[in-house]
Structures are given as C-alpha cells and as structure tokens.
Copies of this chain bind each other. A is one copy, B any other.
Amino acid sequence: MKGFKFNGISAGIKSDNILDLGIIFSEKPAVMAALFTKNKIIAAPVILGKKKLKNRICQAILVNSGNANCCTGDQGLKDAMDSAEMVAKILRIDVDNVMVSSTGVIGQRLPMERIRKGIPRLIDDLETGDIDNFARSILTTDTTIKKVEKKCDVNDHVYTIVGIAKGSGMIKPDMATMLAYILTDAHVPHSVLQQSLQRSCDKSFNRISIDGDTSTNDTVICMANGMSRAIIEDHKDIARFNENLDHVLFGLSEKIVRDGEGATKLAKIVVKGAESSDDAFMAAQAIADSSLVKTALFGEDPNWGRIVAAAGRSGAALEMEKIDLLFDDVYILDRGSWCGQDAEALAHKVLKKSEYKIVIDFNLGDFDDYYLFCDFSMEYVKINADYRS
C-alpha cells in the first residue's frame, strides 16, 4: 500500500514497556471518512474528532492505549489538542489534519509528560516502524493484534485496503465499539468514502456483541490517500470497492469477537423468516446479548430454551409452533417441536467446536439478520473484576 507509514512504541502510559503509543502517517493528505460512538458520554478525542471530520482530510492519526481520556473535562480536551499540535509541528503538517484516539481506563488524565516525550521518538522512527507495532500499541485487554489486508484492482490499477482494529470488551456496537483504522491508497471522493464506510460498518461492526456494553471512545477512521493510480468513481467501481471494504471489516469483526474477553467460542446467530427487518435485528441482538445464552454456550449446552426465550423477550413477532432452530445443520426444533435426545446429542457435539452457527427460523416472513458473538466465561468476569487493579 502506497504512502502510509506506521509506528508503535512504549511511552510509559502502561507499565512493563508494553507498546502504548502509535501513529499512522500518510505522505499525502488523505480523504477521510469517520464514524464515532453513539454513547452520550464521549471521550475528549471523540469530541475533537467530530470537529475535525468537517475538514474531510486527514494526514496523521495518533493513538494511545492505557488511558481513554474520557470524563476528563476541559483539561482532557486540551490534552488531546496539545498532542495533535505536537504531532503536526514535528511532521510539519496542518494540525487540522491530525486525528487522535485514546482507549483504556475512563476518568484519569492523560500522562502528558510521557506522551510529550514519546511523540518525537515515535515520529523519528517512522521510517523503520512497522504496521504490526502500530497494531500492537493500540491494544488493551486484546490478546492478539487485528489486521486485515485486501489487494484489489480497478481498471487494471491495483490498490490495497488495510484495516487495523482493537476491541475485546465493552463491545456492543451502536456504530462500532472499538477503534478501527481503514486505510487505502485508492482515490475515493469523500461522499463515497463516508457512505461506503457507514454501509460496511452497519453490516460488520454493528453486528457483533461481546458483553452488551457500548464504549465512550469508539472510533472508525478511514483514510484514502489516492497514491495508487486506482480511482473509485463510477457506480460499478464503487460497488466493487464496497465489496472489498466489507471483506476487510468482516474480517476485523470476526477477529474482535474471536478475541472477546474470556471468549472460548465464536458463534453466529442467524435469524430467518422474520416479519420485518427490525424484528430480525432485535431477535438476533437479544440472543447475542443474553447472558444466559452466552453462559450456556460456554458450558457447551444446546439449551435451546434460552435462545427461544431471548427471542421471545426481544419484541419480535414470533409463534412457538412455527419456529425451527438449528445448531449448524442439526435441527433441534422443527416447527416448534423438540427433535429428541438424538438431536440433542448431535447438537452437543456442534457446541464442542470452537466455531458454529445457530439458525432460528421464525417462518413468518422474508426478513433475515445475523449477529456475531462469543460465549461468557468465568475468565470474562475475572478480567473485568480486576480491570483497574
């Protein structure tokens, strides 16, 4: 991918020399699209980011982990602006084109002295820095870096889309509950980029659930620097671009759920035959968010009663005697009737796998939807009970 540079270092925000400060830099100013959390409590970098989005241009993104810079008042906003300014000065670019993101504990001031010392070092090493260091520097409780790359072409011109994300807990998107950076060297007009990003997020990041909580810092930023010769403009090319973007965002979504705090299973709930698209979405979300469903999956128990009960409280129209329920290809409910002990034993085998699909068909209408989610383990509780200590 042309024209993007990355780096990630340990600035001492976290202990033990863990990477905690990262940067993305584009040699040329890039067209920017972005989406932010819908939580009403928003972190300082999100407040700032929403303002900067009006420029539609971005050249650098500074990200720190270990501290969310949220609920930090005017001081927090000043700290975010000061960080952006320092980056702009050293890189000799317009401060309006510098975005900042933070992720970590809420309510503590950024350790600005460490960040001020870290930024020059971060930028000095930009030539030798690499994308994996950046991807590592933005992690919190994540256990792995999350990166997806897709080579594409348009009219014989090759371009690349790269996505990097972090997210492991506080994941129930209303937008996208995490940080994600989507970069491409294609040339894409702003209006197309913003629409494509929104569309692709709705299908991917907005359909994953780890714990039903929505973060204050969620940010997805997309940069298109146009440094390849690929130009995305006409209808057909946009459609192809969208497909490629979907590929990257779906890939990141799956990586996030797979790395869910304490997760041992990756499950996809597919709702079929709902009376409306709202019904399909509500039912999928209620099932994916249910603590009782999630703990049953952890126990590898095909407890279909809990799945049906979660659908039943979701608000979606349904009739018990019409419901089909499958674990992968194993029918456990056929038009509302339990398929017996043999089916239950087969379903139990499916749940022993690390990855499977659960399909619930209401057989009422033509609307489908889905959600990716994970199980709920004792490890999740442990991680989140001890998070700040």
Contact = CB atoms under 8 A, between A and B. Distances in A.
B381 A298 contact: yes
List the 9 shortest-distance A-B pairs measured between CB atoms, nearest first: A106-B305, A299-B385, A41-B312, A295-B384, A378-B378, A214-B313, A39-B312, A40-B312, A107-B305
A305 B105 contact: yes
A380 B105 contact: no
B291 A212 contact: yes
28 contacts: A39-B313, A40-B311, A41-B308, A41-B318, A70-B305, A70-B309, A71-B338, A73-B321, A73-B336, A105-B305, A106-B309, A170-B309, A174-B313, A212-B212, A213-B291, A213-B306, A215-B309, A216-B312, A291-B291, A291-B384, A292-B384, A295-B381, A296-B387, A299-B384, A301-B389, A303-B388, A376-B381, A378-B382
A28 interface: no
A354 interface: no
Contact of A387 (B211, B301, B378): B301
Contacts of A290: 212-213
A295 B211 CA distance: 11
Contacts of A301: 385-389
A87 interface: no
B213 A310 contact: yes
Copies of this chain in its oligomeric complex: 2
A277 interface: no
Contact of A385 (B108, B296, B386): B296
Interface in A341-389: 376-378, 380-382, 384-389
Nearest to A109: B338
A68 interface: yes
A71 B291 CA distance: 20
Contacts of A226: none
A229 interface: no
A108 B382 CA distance: 34
A208 B36 CA distance: 32
B169 A216 contact: no
Contacts of A108: 338
Contacts of A318: 40-41
Nearest to A262: B381
A43 to B, nearest CB: 10
A8 to B, nearest CB: 25
A239 interface: no
A306 B388 CA distance: 11
A107 B304 contact: yes
Nearest to A311: B41
A55 interface: no
Interface in A267-302: 289-292, 295-296, 298-299, 301
A195 interface: no
